[in-house]
Amino acid sequence: MLPKIAAALVFVTDEDVGRKHFLDAANMNRKGYIVYIWQVQINEQADQAGAMMIRSQQEFDCRFRQSRVMWLISYADKDGVGAPLQSSAVQHPQWVPVTSGSVTEKLLDQACGMIMR
């Protein structure tokens, strides 16, 4: 089952451990080489905190190929309509270089490719 916002979600990749990753194309914008976007992770099984869905507000630097997470919201259900388990800003977000072959690299490539045309 996909979240209620599924119409705006763009599938990016899935992992062997049962996580699917999407970008929320309806809430994407950019300033210069920086892309601001919400990423959605849907878990096949609840993680250690009980989350089945995690939304994260991320920034991707398309020029220098780095990313940082600004906000995290986790939900106990896969559609994200119930009360969040947690919702908080990341304290002191840091730019992290993207690792070749990683999920983050796939997200960055998709986001930058969609908006930098």
CATH number, domain containing residue 91? 2.40.128.710
| Separation of alpha carbons 60 and 69, rounded Å | 9
| Identity of the residue numbered 23 | L
What is the value of pTM for the model shown?
Answer: 0.89
Token duo for residue 9: 């979600």
Q: How many CB atoms lie within 10 A of CB 11?
A: 13
Count structural domains, the chain.
1
State the residue range of the domain holding 50. 4-115
Residue pLDDT tens, the chain, 117 long: 455 556 689 999 999 889 999 999 998 999 999 999 999 999 999 999 999 999 999 999 999 999 999 999 999 998 888 899 999 999 999 999 999 999 999 999 999 999 877
